[in-house]
Amino acid sequence: MILEVSRGSIKVALAGKTVTVPGEMFFPAGDKIGFAISSNQIKHWDYPNQDVDLTEREIADVIDDIRADFELGGHTLEIE
């Protein structure tokens, strides 16, 4: 579940932890937002789990969660 979106990151809650996904907001045509993220920048959970690396499956789950929320709102998500 997306908790927060800013110009440079998206904060996501998953499995009782949070992760801040760095990226870049952009504004495609229309009244919606777009966001570009690089999957190789998703590495660690947020505090207090900052020393725990995300697994490839967890990274995929985070991206899938963001994608689902964005699709519901009609927003654009680009994965690099």
Instruction: Give the predicted TM-score (pTM) of the model.
Output: 0.91
When the pLDDT of each residue in the chain is averaged and rounded to a whole number, the result is 94
Task: Report the number of distinct structural domains present in the chain.
Answer: 1
Query: CA-CA distances (angstroms) from residue 68 to 2, 14, 48, 79?
Result: 10, 13, 26, 13
For residues 12 and 19, the answer to whether their CB atoms sit within 8 Å is: yes
| Alpha helices, H only, the chain | 56-73
CA distances from 53 to 17, 18, 67, 77, 79 (A): 12, 12, 21, 24, 20
pLDDT, tens digit (0-9, with 9 covering 90-100), for 33-46:
999 999 999 999 99
Query: Domain limits at 62?
Result: 2-79
The answer to whether the bond into 48 is cis (omega within 30° of 0) is yes
